Structure 1
Amino acid sequence: METPSAPPATGPVHRVAMYDMDRTITRSGTYSGFLIHVARRRQPWRLLLLPLVGLAGLAYALRLIDRTRLKAINLRLLVGKRFRRSEIAPLAESYADRVVARGLHPAALDQIAADRAAGYRLLLATASFHLYVDAIARRLGIDDVLATQLDEPDGADHIHARLAGENCYGEAKFARISDWLADNDITREEAHIRAYSDHVSDHPMLHFAHEAVATTPSRKLKKLAPRMGWQVVDWRGRR
């Protein structure tokens, strides 16, 4: 993809590039892969529960449960009802190594590097868990991360298999972005904002940005983007 043109040097005070992660920067989703990675290395017997994971996915498809409940169920099945951060952290790091080594779009890395070189502050906003997203973000040189948080009622080292707050997805993700902008004293009028995503659920984020890029878009986003004047690119297999 051609790097979006830089804003005028005398223009905005802030430059922000907002990236979705799964299937935007990565070639595929990372959530299920992380759960299986942890189960295989920590408690392999939990892989026998994969049929129950499939049933939970069916319940979600039938709209019997929402995404928040689905994530909590799958986490409980494959990782556990309650676990220590210190025990999972090394597995999050090894999973991040695996994703970065084999699971990224090279063209996405090129764009991240170009935005960084152009002076943009890099924000990763994703529905995936902070538990492992932070490790991936560090390897990519991302400045700030907004991700789905897990409940830690017993202190910093104990995590429960339930979400703390909303799943960082769609409107909830954009609400998190809005709060982050306010916390950093960044207004749209004083900024130049780029946004990259593969999925139509990120419509609020893309609509808010000055430059929106639909990256290897899903079917619905591919239809929507031209009507909204958003750039469409295919990052598959490009360097």
Structure 2
Amino acid sequence: MDTSADPMPTPAKIAIYDLDRTITRAPTWTPFLLHAVTHHAPWRLALLPAVIGAAALRALGLIHRDRLKQVMHRAALGTLTPARAEHIAAGWLARFGPAHIRRGARAQIAADRAHGHRIVIATAAYGFYAEAIARDVGADALIATHTAIDSLGRLLPRIEGDNCYGPAKRDMIERWFADQGIARDRATVRFYSDHVSDVPSFEWADEPVVVNPHAALRRVAAQRGWRQVDWNG
């Protein structure tokens, strides 16, 4: 009988990317909604005052960011089928992607994949449109905010579960690891983002990489000694 120990499995290599202003040059939610309204339901422009009012309340700290997100969803999209959402997302990406997906992000994704990393996008964006970008850049998985779904399978203007932002993003990444059967102590994790809200995920990662950071994250990165990269070229 062979009593030698089984060899240890090769550690998984995971590269996790934020989406807005990390893979893309600009935020995605408002451009997506503007495309949806102007190309598919211009009558919804009449609901713009409701969005402006909610944005003002958010700026004053009177409503949560999740509430503003749901108001914008209701005003611009209402209830829609997954097929309709996919159709709108495809048309939007054809216009948005060429100018706004960073060449540096595409190059780094290709390099990470060549070195054996599994590519994951973790984003506060809704999955029903972020999936289009995930496919376009060749991601292996998408961790995103979900909408509630009614009994007919339609997407509702209501967040289901957590908005994938801040500490909730880290929690959702951890749940994804568990769902995939990946033990955290048997994986190396590289995490890319531009925003200070992702500090919990940076701290959880083995290799935090700060991408074109805003001022608050730049200060934190300098204090922690995190690597910073410039993908503006």
Task: Trace 1:132-171 onto structure 2 (pairs within 5 A).
Answer: 132-156=129-153, 158-171=154-167
User: What residue ranges of structure 1 are gaps of 5+ in the alignment?
Assistant: 1-9
SS, match of residue 99 in structure 1: helix
Indicate the residue corresponding to 2:53 in structure 1: 55
Which one-letter code corresponds to 1:28 in the other structure?
A
What's the CA shift for 1:109? 0.9
TM-score, structure 1 as length reference: 0.90
Structure with max Cα Rg: 2
Q: Which of 34, 40, 43 is the aligned partner of 1:42?
A: 40
Cα deviation, 1:50-96, whole Å, max 9, x if unaligned, reads: 3332221111111111111111101111112x222222321111112
What's the CA shift for 1:221? 0.3
What's the CA shift for 1:189? 2.1
SS, match of residue 92 in structure 1: helix
SS, match of residue 166 in structure 1: coil
Which one-letter code corresponds to 2:179 in the other structure?
D
What's the CA shift for 1:12? 5.2
Q: Quick check: 212-221 or 49-58, which moved more?
A: 49-58
- CA distance in 2 between counterparts of 1:106 and 1:145 reads 20
Indicate the residue corresponding to 1:7 in structure 2: none
User: What residue ranges of structure 2 are gaps of 5+ in the alignment?
Assistant: 1-7
- CA distance in 2 between counterparts of 1:44 and 1:98 reads 18
The 1:144/1:170 distance shift into structure 2, 3 A limit, reads same
SS, match of residue 98 in structure 2: helix
What's the CA shift for 1:98? 2.4
Which one-letter code corresponds to 2:53 in the other structure?
L
Structure 1: 4+ residue segments shifted above 3 A: none
RMSD, aligned CA: 1.5
- CA distance in 2 between counterparts of 1:155 and 1:113 reads 39
Equivalent pair of 2:118/2:140 in contact (CA under 8 Å)? yes
Q: Quick check: 101-110 or 13-22, which moved more?
A: 101-110
Asked whether 1:106 is paired with 2:133, we answer: no
Tell me the matched-pair count.
226
Equivalent pair of 1:125/1:146 in contact (CA under 8 Å)? yes
- CA distance in 2 between counterparts of 1:28 and 1:165 reads 26
Cα deviation, 1:143-163, whole Å, max 9, x if unaligned, reads: 00011101102243x111111
Which one-letter code corresponds to 2:108 in the other structure?
Q
Equivalent pair of 2:54/2:68 in contact (CA under 8 Å)? yes
Indicate the residue corresponding to 1:15 in structure 2: 13
Indicate the residue corresponding to 1:177 in structure 2: 173
Asked whether 1:223 is paired with 2:210, we answer: no
Indicate the residue corresponding to 2:67 in structure 1: 69
- CA distance in 1 between counterparts of 2:187 and 2:83 reads 39
Identical-residue share of aligned pairs (%): 40
TM-score, structure 2 as length reference: 0.92
Equivalent pair of 2:85/2:129 in contact (CA under 8 Å)? no
